[in-house]
Structure 1
Amino acid sequence: MPFGLVSAWNKRRRSKSRDHSDPWIYKPAEVWQLEDQTPQPTKRRHGSNVFTLKEMESATYSFSDDNLIGKGGFGRVYKGTLKSGEVVAIKKMEMPAIEGEREFRVEVDILSRLDHPNLVSLIGYCADGKHRFLVYEYMQNGNLQDHLNGIRERKMDWPERLRVALGAAKGLAYLHSSSCVGIPIVHRDFKSTNVLLDSNFEAKISDFGFAKLMPEGQEIHVTAGVLGTFGYFDPEYTSTGKLTLQSDVYAYGVVLLELLTGRRAVDLNQGPNDQNLVLQVRHLLNDGKMIRKMIDAEMARNSYTIESISMFANLASRCVHPESNERPSMKDCVKEIQMIIYTNTKGLGMVMHSLRML
């Protein structure tokens, strides 16, 4: 049953009040469900596991700072170990009541019904009193931004960055395809910190609290407010309030630029004209000479070919095009990244062959 989680949720609630004005008060299943859902039987993962507050405290050594692995506007993320011995990531929600409850329910509802190797797996959740936790699979190599910005010691070469770009594209294409829940899903907060890396540096998309199920049969949804992260906002979305699948494509293009340059999407330490990465480099992406100057200096020169870099920059420039109808689909991005990987691999192979001949 698509909403088995809701039944589990209701069994754990003890409040007798039916005052729906308080987001923490019990709500019947029909209220809990999201407006745009089209329930369909899908393959479920481990998301139906329900944990208690005591289990969350035990798993994280009472939320010890030693177990803290990330924090943001949503709250904090801790590394934890369940009674089974499984190592997990536990997100402790710390947003205002209404916003936090909405994000929590959206993420539980959507992630529990998704099944794709490039999306982070939801293992379970905790809704104990006013406490809200989400329990995910643990990703050993953290998030993409930390690797690009030097927070992590290990630097990523070009083939690894291309593999991350491909994994992220496949994850977004899956969300947009409507095959998972019957209608397309817009992530709405895709960014480099939401691209997590497992032990093999395979990319998995996380944080679905802002995700939106698109109205059936519609390609545009007009929102009352703009949600997401500064630096990744689709210009059309911010100016009109019209959310489309192409809004994710724009954000994906920003992440491509981060992969290419090693810079942040927004860097407030730079001068006023250089803070926004897209505005800084978009007009240079089809200039062969300038592209060479934008390549992240941390990448080994023998890990990339200029042809693959140029193809990658061209794709990024189309993804961040100001007009959404000029952007490729995520399905097209998957195909282009695959071609770029082939081009780079083939080019490097030819170089190695030439060196052996010397």
Structure 2
Amino acid sequence: MKKVSGSRQSLAASPWWARTVHQDRRPFLLARGRITAAVRGWFTGEDFLEVETPVLQRSPGNEAHLHAFATDLIGPDGVRDTLYLRTSPEFAAKKLLAAGEERIFELARVFRNRERSASHHPEFTMLEWYRAGAPYEQLMEDCAALLALAARTGGMERFLFRGQGCDPFAEPERLTLVDAFQRHAGLDLERFLPEPGADNGPLVSPFAQAAAATGVHIAEDDGWADIFSKVLVAHVEPHLGVGRPTVLCEYPVSEAALARPKPADPRFAERFELYACGLELANAFGELTDPAEQRRRFMLEMDEKARLYGERYPLDDDFLAALAEMPEASGCALGLDRLVLLASGARRIEDVLWVPVARPGLGDALG
């Protein structure tokens, strides 16, 4: 049996600030600093402006499965108002596009509740950038360049995570959702697509039956999006970014709340996600700029959130007003911590965080 060092053995019970634990983590943290500096330099070289947007927001985002942290803003007169820690800088960044900025990026601290695992953390750093007037395919090229940059800076010729390998210098494969479902789940996704804006109820039953036949557990109250997500997670995602990066693109429009429909086929949206080693790294859109359609989609998302979780978040009317002034643009959000994890050879996201968030009941212990 391979001998494990005492510091490694103590990781589960020891706090992150124990010297032996910190010394094990320190190479990953130093790599984080180098990679962050390289990313900043890359964007500067592409004529981007680095911006800073507020952590406190009127709305934390209006997607059904995003969970935020709420807090009270107390005015000098004692009046309380509920604000949220942002789940993304997206709303504020798009307001800057409406104000006239054309190329912007932010290394934003963001917060998501109900998320913690080897690849999730309740507080993390999101690299988000926008290009006014650019097609969303340009962001695919940006992502490929950033993967290679991070690998070179971290000294990694190959990414390895959970037994999967990926060449970060290889040209990413572009795979549509339709092709991915057919290849990895044996399902004809087009057959089950809901019509944009239509009542999707009648289509759920045959989709549920087809998904269940692949071994996915379907609950009685699962809607179309639930079934789609379960098939994606169970059958598709484990195969993405293996060998070389994968750009998973052309999502059903119902699964892209902030993305514009593809002009050639409005059943699908200009959305892609970037994967390496089966791990999602980035999510990108050709941005929707129709405020009425965006409001409609947000309302549908909040109805679904209320159905599933018994709560809803307010809409940011200021953001919706800004959409009417926003130019056509494409934007991408990339998890910097996950990128550093792969590019430094770390095992889990907490290895690349200088100070991880304390665990309930465990304090600063790492597990």
Q: TM-score, normalised by structure 1?
A: 0.28
Q: In proportion to residue count, which structure has more strand?
A: 2
